[in-house]
Structure 1
Amino acid sequence: MATPLTADRLLKALHDEGVTVVEVGDWRTHNRNKVGVFGPVNGSMVHHTVTKGTAATVAICRDGYADLPGPLCHGVIAKNGRVHLVGWGRANHAGGGDPRVLDQVVAEDYDTRPTPPTRGNTNGVDGNARFYGWECENLGDGNDPWPAAQYNAIVRVQAALCRAHGWTAKSVIGHLEWSSDKIDPRGFGMPALRADVAERLTHPASWSPDDEAPQSEEDTDMTPAQEALLKKLAADVAELKKQQAVAPWAYRNAKLDAESRAAGRRIPDMHGRIEQLQTTLDALTKAVAELKNRA
């Protein structure tokens, strides 16, 4: 159990973790504390919004609607990876859930998933008091993509909270793991997300996966795409040279068939293609050599 972070501590934790934050209005004091407590907190919960468009999503998550007043979470994680903070304190996001799941999260004691919940929003224990909540902009239909920037932000936000509280990744759950009548988030697996959060927690908060990308002397001067293009050009040149060597023989044969004559007519064009590819290959090779000499 832990005392909820203050708004200032949350901002610092998110910024330290490399999260791009957008502060929405009076988010620091926008909450549902008048109807119930917030804390002690035991974990962080991930949701999808079933909405499209960041502006509309942020508005509804901040303000809520007639039957469910806002805030509906603490932050909205948009498609572009920006995290819009809309409230701090008690928020209407978790609803009722399974007390066995809460016990497992408190103890951080379960395998790859908590026990499947058998209680839901109407007959479960209060989750709004015990979990931070993060709504992620997504239609939730299993087809709407999760851009890398957004998924990366989800991982960073959860890692920031775990790091601040000294939790492991097992304090991060999805709404579907809490309540028997929920399916979110849909489109990625919570065990995989927890694994990515756990990996991040083995590094400093400022860490980026790109910082430790494997490199060798051969590829330090080229991106993978550039290296692949260079290899493809070399293969194309080799193949065209092979075809060029065969085609003239067929062209000179006294008993030419239709296919051989067609191949012969392609020889001038093939020569041009070879010269063009060879020129490009030579230029790329020269550029790579110059980069290595400067290194």
Structure 2
Amino acid sequence: MKVIYSNSIDKYFNCNTGVGLGNFDGLHIGHMALINTLIRETQLNGLASVVYNFTKHPENILRKKLITPLLLTEQKKIDLLSEINLDYLYFDEFNENFSRLSPEEFVKQILIDKLHIKLAVVGYDYKFGYHGDGNVEFLKELGKKYGFRVIVISPITCDNEIISSTRIRELVINGDLETAYKLLGRNYSITAEVVSGRRIGNTIGYPTANINPERFLVLPANGVYITKTLLDGKFYNSMTNVGFNPTFEDCKQKNVETHIIDFNQDIYGKKIEVFFLKKIRDERKFESVEQLMQQISKDMCQAKEYLGIGT
């Protein structure tokens, strides 16, 4: 898979393409159904497969102060899509000028002139162009006018619920990582570099790897979670606290602190990916450090039982 940014577009796309259109935040089960249809149809019709995306979520440009938290970083999106048989991942820059393109201008200037589109694959609720005035019916009309076919993917459901990035964000924010797993098709994860913290974990016998996720990324609800941590290509059992450490002092910044079980290496400066499996409990303030340590011991027993390791 080749990753292309809009400023390098002239170097590529001298061939006809099939294009998957959407925000694709999360790359959940519904998104992957769309992309798999795209890949199958392009292979059958001799086209290059392209997922069209933006470097920044459009809502975060248009709404400015009302930030939409994201389920994926740009790099994680690249990593996930590189695992399938996709030809191109194309990132365009969504800005004020781009947002003013009418639906037909978007199709003509981007899809026709730059991407040489012959096939569009979209979700049932796809909107495009200025103010989202374009919908799937109008896209079909433009397809007839400009000579490309449109495939519309029906809603994908799980437990009678339509899968959407909005719903998954709600689940993660509320700490329901098990239901989020069903809709994503994988465990929700956060990747970041291990940074120096206040070393409170060292003083109570549970050293932690502290990470500062990207600003726009969704963070799970405050609490303690059973997790798996990926470091240098290897998975480790772990337990992760998300929150403000109220027993010691209320921090202004939300922290993500992971205790890797039976692990004592120095990993400052390394990147780790923390996969959230299940929430154990909410974060709360304890009356003493001793009470906190007793609770962490109970949390650890629960985590080890869930992970299938000896206590």
Q: Which has the larger radius of gyration?
A: 1
TM range (shorter): under 0.3
Query: If the length of structure 1 is used for normalisation, what is the TM-score?
Result: 0.23
Query: If the length of structure 2 is used for normalisation, what is the TM-score?
Result: 0.22
Higher relative CO (Cα under 8 Å, sequence separation at least 6) belongs to: 1
Q: Which structure has greater helix proportion? A: 1
